Amino acid sequence: MAEHRTMQRGALLDAARSLLSEGGTEALTFPALAERTGLARSSVYEYFRSRAAVVEELCAVDFPVWAAEVENAMQRAETPEAKIEAYVRRQLDLVGDRRHRAVVAISASELDAGAREKIRAAHGGLIAMIVEALGDLGHTQPRLAAMLLQGSVDAAVRRIELGVAEEPGVIADTAVAMVLRGVAG
């Protein structure tokens, strides 16, 4: 029985990812989750009290996976510059991933304090890695530089998601060049 519940929970989270990546937070409703999974709406409530609870669980499950991918890319890099490039490129590579799209939809929306805190903590882990690389480059304000660098990554993510003007590769190359030239100063 417990295994069945775990499967149902997984199916609900997967449906939530799809809904978020297709239509943002407005699309994430209990009727939509019920319809996607074939469960009764009352059954959805047995797993999650609220939309915020679904979002919190998604953050708890997906953020660490996503952060670990970025971390692994950085650990494979030899130099501080290469670590910074890996940090930027890996985040941009993950834009098409449903997990990432769901996470972006979530962090852009109004959440309760608990869910916001989980997101902040996960982002904090990523920021800590980049602060270290910036410190190794001899940056005098590594924490500030890390926040501004992440702002550049977020802007590049939004640009890729618009799916308009430039190819994702061009956006990634430009972001990397800007960041690396910028942090050298």
CATH number at residue 13: 1.10.10.60
Structural domain of residue 101, as residue ranges? 55-184
For residue 109, give the 3-state DSSP assignment. coil
Residues 79, 18, single domain; the answer is: no
Tokens of 105: 């939809």
Confidence grade of residue 185 (pLDDT, cut at 50, 70, 90): very low
Residues 33, 72, single domain; the answer is: no
What rounded mean pLDDT belongs to the chain? 85
CA end-to-end distance (rounded Å), the chain: 59
Tokens of 76: 């494979």
Residues 92, 11, single domain; the answer is: no
Kindly report the CATH number assigned to the domain that includes residue 90: 1.10.357.10
Q: What is the pLDDT of residues 104-162, one digit of tens each?
A: 666 655 567 776 777 777 777 778 889 999 999 999 999 999 989 988 998 898 888 77
More confident residue, 93 or 116: 93
- CA–CA dist 104, 96 (Å, integer): 11
Residues 34, 67, single domain; the answer is: no
pTM: 0.75
Q: How many domains does the chain have?
A: 2
Q: What is the mean pLDDT of residues 3-22?
A: 88
% of the chain surpassing 70 pLDDT: 91
Residues 42, 63, single domain; the answer is: no
Residues 97, 70, single domain; the answer is: yes
Looking at residue 64, its pLDDT comes to 80
Exposed / middle / buried, residue 103 (Cβ in 10 Å: 0-12, 13-18, 19+): buried
